[in-house]
Amino acid sequence: MLVLDSVENVQEMIRMWRKDGDVIGFVPTMGFLHDGHLSLVRAAKSQCERAVVSIFVNPTQFGPGEDLDAYPRDMEHDVALLEKEGVDLVFAPKPETMYARDHSTVVIVQGLSHVLAGEHRPTHFAGVTSVVAKLFNIVRPDKSYFGQKDFQQVKIIERMVRDLNFRTQVIMMPIVREPDGLAMSSRNTYLTPEQRRQALILSQSVKWAEKTHAAGETDVQKIITTVTQMIRAAGPDLEIKYVTVVNPKTLEPVAKVGRGAVLLIEVYVGKTRLYDNVIF
């Protein structure tokens, strides 16, 4: 497995593989890998001749006062996991490699980036789309893999790919959960034991909504109200940012819970931001 930090070296390797006709799968990450990330890697390995993973804690997607410096990192462990999975190349650039001192170009997906999480994190998704656009230009993947847990992020990247004619297929993989149901996230390590106990209400409320809809419930307000009440009753450390049911393409609220609609939840557990969702 190659571990490279140079854009030029990565591009040269990609050119060699393309000459051989290899299909290239790509998983962009910020490292501190868990089984959620590895499910994306396994999909890339099974569907493509070459699997590339990037590890880069992207500073431009962190707002003022957010956890850039505290974000968990363990490069040695990450590399060992990826080598075990049979990854072909790990791209692990330094910030100065990705961003020139006077860099001034930003990629913004209007509309989708400014609702839901974008309302209280106004610069976040511009940082995400800008770095993913750069990574797509460097790796030139045929297929790119993202996790459903970050549903809004996936929809924004899909729109960017369409609008800017990137030649990659965006593939969203299902949420991977801990044995207790909590959606896997690198930020779960921030939780105290008591906060983790309270955080389980996210997956529990999502499961309740899924079962309720399967039993025939289509009233959006009833589902939102009940899920909100469940979360509020679960503990004092929980702060709801939103509970909503949206159209999966536009992220606009729907009037009725139909097939394909998505329940999205963002909750702060203490200072830790967690997401969960279900596609009905």
**CA end-to-end span of the chain:** 39
Element (H, E) at 172: strand 169-173
Q: Quickly name the fold that domain 2-173 has.
A: Rossmann fold (3.40.50)
The pLDDT value recorded for residue 65 is 84
Residue 58, by phi and psi: left (phi above 0), alpha (psi -120 to 50) or beta? beta
CA–CA separation, 51 vs 28, rounded Å? Answer: 11
Q: Where in the chain is the domain with CATH 3.40.50.620?
A: 2-173
The pLDDT value recorded for residue 67 is 81
Nearest to 240, CA basis, from 249, 250, 232 = 232
Asked if residues 12 and 151 have their Cβ atoms less than 8 Å apart, the reply is: no
Q: Return the CATH number of the domain spanning residue range 186-279.
A: 3.30.1300.10
CA–CA separation, 178 vs 149, rounded Å? Answer: 13
Q: Where in the chain is the domain with CATH 3.30.1300.10?
A: 186-279
- From 34, 37, 120, 124, active-site residue: 37
Q: For each of the chain's 280 residues, which pLDDT tens digit applies?
A: 999 999 999 999 999 999 999 999 999 999 999 999 999 999 999 999 999 999 999 999 999 888 899 899 999 999 999 999 999 999 999 999 999 999 999 999 999 999 999 999 999 999 999 999 999 999 999 999 999 999 999 999 999 999 999 999 999 999 999 999 999 999 999 999 999 999 999 999 999 999 999 999 999 999 999 999 999 999 999 999 999 999 999 999 999 999 999 999 999 999 999 999 999 9
Catalytic, 37? Answer yes
CA–CA separation, 95 vs 8, rounded Å? Answer: 15
CA quadruple 202, 205, 208, 210: dihedral positive or negative?
Answer: negative
Q: What is the pTM of this model?
A: 0.96
CA–CA separation, 7 vs 138, rounded Å? Answer: 7
The pLDDT value recorded for residue 124 is 97
Please report, as a single letter, which amino acid is at residue 247.
N
Asked if residues 124 and 140 have their Cβ atoms less than 8 Å apart, the reply is: no
CA quadruple 188, 152, 124, 133: dihedral positive or negative?
Answer: positive
What angle, rounded to 10 degrees, do the helices at 151-164 and 124-139 form?
50
In sequence order, what are the residues at sequence separation of 6 or more whose Cβ sits closer than 8 angstroms to the Cβ of residue 138? 7, 10, 11, 91
**10 HSE (CA, 13 A, CB side):** 26
Asked if residues 28 and 58 have their Cβ atoms less than 8 Å apart, the reply is: no
